[in-house]
Amino acid sequence: MTLLALASAGLAVGCVFVGWTLLRLPVDGGMVADPGTGGSLVLEAADGEAFAARGVLRGDAITADRLPRRLADAVIAIEDRRFYEHGGIDPRGVLRAALRNATAGRTREGASTITQQLARLLYLSQERTLARKAQELLIAVWLERQLSKDEILARYLSSAYFGAGAWGADAAARRYFGKAAGDLSLAEAAMLAGLVRAPSQLAPTRNPEGARQRAGLVLTAMVETGRATQADAAAARDAPVALRTPPEMVPGRGYFADWVEAETRRQVGPVPVDVMVRTTLDPALQDIAERVVGSALDREGTRAKVGQAALVALSHDGAVLAAVGGRDYGASQFNRVTQARRQPGSLFKLFVYGAALEAGWQPDTSVVDQPVRIGTWEPQNFGGRYRGRTTLRDAFAQSINTVAVQVSEAVGRNRVIEVAKRLGVRSELASVPSIALGSTEVTLLEMAGAFAGVASGSRVEPYVLRAVRARDRPLYSRAEPGIGGGQTAPVLTPAARAGLLDLLLAVVRDGTGRAAQLPRPVAGKTGTTQDNRDAWFVGFTADVVVAVWVGNDDNTPTNNVTGGTLPANIWRAFVSEADRVKTATAQAAAVARPVPPGAAGRPPQATAPSAPPAMPPRPAVRGQAVVLDTGTLRVAGQVVRLGGVIGFSGEPARDMALYLAGREVICEPADAGTHRCKVGDRDLSEVVLFNGGGRAARDAEASLQRAEDQAREASRGLWAAW
C-alpha cells in the first residue's frame, strides 16, 4: 500500500511537472533572427573586392523537396546519426556520444538530436536548466508528429546559425563560399556542418585552421556512417577550401562601412534581401590613409596635444576614394569626416575670395593689411603683425585675417554665404563679421566637396555608392559621372575659378601651405581656429582632392598646431605615398603590355593632338591660357600649338592647367603654324617635356629632345609607367 501510494505520488508529481513545463513554454525566446530583420549588405571596393559585411545574411530558405544532399549528409553524420530512425529523442545516441567523448577526451559528438536542436532554435532560449531541457524534449516529440523528417531537417538547416552573421545554410554557403547551399562541394559541406556547434569560435573567417580541423572530424563521421566513401573523404581533405568572403572588419574600414550602410538605406530604403553594394573605395589609398593618420598621431599626438584626426580623399567628380573618420574606430564610431561640425578658420576664406573674384577683383588687386574694427570686434592677425599694402594673392597665401574681413565686408557677407552654398556647404552659416574667418561650423566632407568644386569647375556632391544589387535585380546605380559628378553647370565664373586656382597655388608655393609641396603643382589652403583648437589643410592635385583635420573631440586647444604643420604634413605624406603606389602599379602594368614595334622607350598611347587646327599665326598672343591638351592651348580666343610638343589630354593636361592657372602666357609665332610660348622666363614647350607632360615631336629641336630624355630618365609624368 505504501509503495502504491509512493508510486501514485510520484506519478502525480511527474504529471504536475509536465503540465507546469508545458504551461511555461516560451515561444519567442529562440535564436532565430527576427523575420522582420532586413537583409545583409556585402560591401565591395571600387575594384569589386569585398571588404566588409553588415547585417544578418538571410540567404534562401531550404525546403524539404530541395535539400542540399551533401550538406544534409554531413550535418546528420556529425550531429544526429540516427536522425531517420528515432522519434525526436535518441537514448542510444546519448549513450554513444557519451562513450565517444569519454574516449576522445573531448566533446567530439553532441547528444541532442537535430529535432531537439530545432526545438531550441524555434521556441526556446539557450538557458541550461532541467525545466528547459524537459520543454525541449516535449517540443521535439511534438515536432516529430507534425512534420516529416525532411521537413524537420530543412527547417533546421534554414534556422541554424553558422557564424559571421549568416543564419541558415544557404546564407552561410553564400557568406563563406559565394555559392548556393545546393552547389557546395563535399569539403565545403563538411566545413559548414562543423560550424553549427561553435559557429563564432570556428567561423573560417576568424579561425580557418580550427574550421579545417573540425571539417576533418565531419568527414570521418561521414565515412563511419556510410554517407561518404573513404576515397571521397580523402579527396575532400586534400581539396583546398577557397573562401570567397569579406574579411572580418578591419577597424579602419569601419567608418567607411558605416557611411556606406547609411547611404545605402537612404538610397534604396529598407533592404529586405541580401544585397551587394559596390562602393567608391580604393583599398590601396584607404590603407595608406589609415597608416599615415595613425603614424602621425602616434608620432606627434602627445607632443602636439592632438587626440584625433580625420582624412577624406575624393576624385575630382566627388567619388570618395578613402576616408578615416578618427584615430580608433573600436574606441569611437563617431565619424569626424561626416558628423563632426568644427570651425574651419581660414579655410573659409576660399568663399570670401571666391566672392571677391566674382565681383571683379583680381589676384593682383592691391589691398591693405591694417587694424580693423567692426562694432566691438577687432580681428587679429596671426603673430599680431600688419604688413601694409599687399596684393590679394599674398594676403590669401599668408592667410591675413584683417584683409579677409575687409574683403568680406566689401563684397557682402550674403554674397560670401551664397558662394559657399553654391560650392556645396549645407551647414547653417551665420551672417556675422567673423564668418570671414570661419567662425561657423562645417564638416570636413563639406570642405572637401567645395575644394573639389573649384578643382573641377562644377558643383561636386561627394558620394560613396556606385551600385546596389540583389541577386536577381539592380536596386540602385549611379549615373556615369561626368564633369563635377554629372553636373555641367559651372559653379564659379571662369575668371573667378582661374583666380582662385592662382591663389590656392600661391598658398602652397609661397604661403602657409608650403609643407604640402610636391614635385608637381598643388593647390590648397590652411585653416586654424582660435587657440589652435582646430587645424585643417585641404588641397588638390590634377587627380585627387584631400582634406585633413586634426584636433580634440572635447575642443581643448592643441599645442600650437596650425593648418600648415601637422595637417599639411599628413596631406603630403598621404599624396606622396599614393603617387608612389600609382607609379608602381603603372610600371607593373607597363611590363605586362607589349611595346609596339618601333615604339621602344616611348609610350604607345601617344597620339597626335586631337585639338582643333591652329589658326594662322598672329604677332604675339598673350593672356591666360585654357589647356586643350599639353601641346595645345587657347589664349586670347586663339588656338595655339606649342612647337616641338605632341600633347596629351587627361591627367597631364590637368597638371598643366594647375601650373598655368592665373599666369600670363606670351606666345610668339614659329614655323609650321606653331608657337613658342613663355611663362615668365621659361619656355613652355621645354617645361611640358621636362615634366613628362608630352612627347617631343620628330622635328623638335635639340633642347626639347634633351628635356624629354631627362623626364624619361627621372621617370616623370607619363614616363613613370615605362
Compute the radius of gyration of the chain from its Cα atoms. Answer: 34
pTM, two decimals, is 0.70
The amino acid sitting at 569 is N
302 contact partners, CB below 8 Å, separation of at least 6: none
Higher pLDDT, 433 or 103: 433
Express each pLDDT in 102-126 by its tens digit: 555 544 444 688 888 888 777 765 5
Q: How far is CA 572 from the centre of its chain?
A: 20
Percent of the chain with pLDDT over 90: 48
Report the pLDDT value the prediction gives residue 111, as an integer from 0 to 100. Answer: 60
79 part of the active site: yes
Q: At what angle do helices 186-193 and 230-238 cross, to 10 degrees?
A: 80
Report the pLDDT value the prediction gives residue 338, as an integer from 0 to 100. Answer: 96
Mean pLDDT of the chain: 83
Residue 618 reports pLDDT greater than 80: no
Report the pLDDT value the prediction gives residue 661, as an integer from 0 to 100. Answer: 79
Quickly tell me which residue has 546559425 as its cell. 161
Residue 72 reports pLDDT greater than 50: yes
Helix (H, G, I), strand (E, B) or coil at 324: strand
Helices (H), 597-674: 651-660
434 part of the active site: no
119 contact partners, CB below 8 Å, separation of at least 6: 135, 136, 139, 140, 143
Annotated active-site residue in 79, 136, 290, 446:
79
Alpha-carbon torsion angle 641, 646, 647, 648, nearest 10: 160
Residue 595 reports pLDDT greater than 60: no
| 43-52, 73-82, 653-662: segment of lowest average pLDDT | 653-662
Dump the DSSP string for 351-416. Answer: HHHHHHHHTT--TT-EEEE----BTTB----GGG---EEEEHHHHHHTT-HHHHHHHHHHH-HHHH
When mean pLDDT is compared over 225-234, 697-706, 711-720, the highest value belongs to: 225-234
Helix (H, G, I), strand (E, B) or coil at 475: strand
Bridging pattern class, strands 41-44 and 275-279 = parallel
Higher pLDDT, 55 or 419: 419
Annotated active-site residue in 346, 399, 408, 434:
346
End-to-end CA distance of the chain: 104
Express each pLDDT in 485-537 by its tens digit: 344 568 899 899 999 999 999 999 999 999 999 988 899 999 999 999 999 99
Residue (of 698, 675, 665) closest to 616 by Cα position: 675
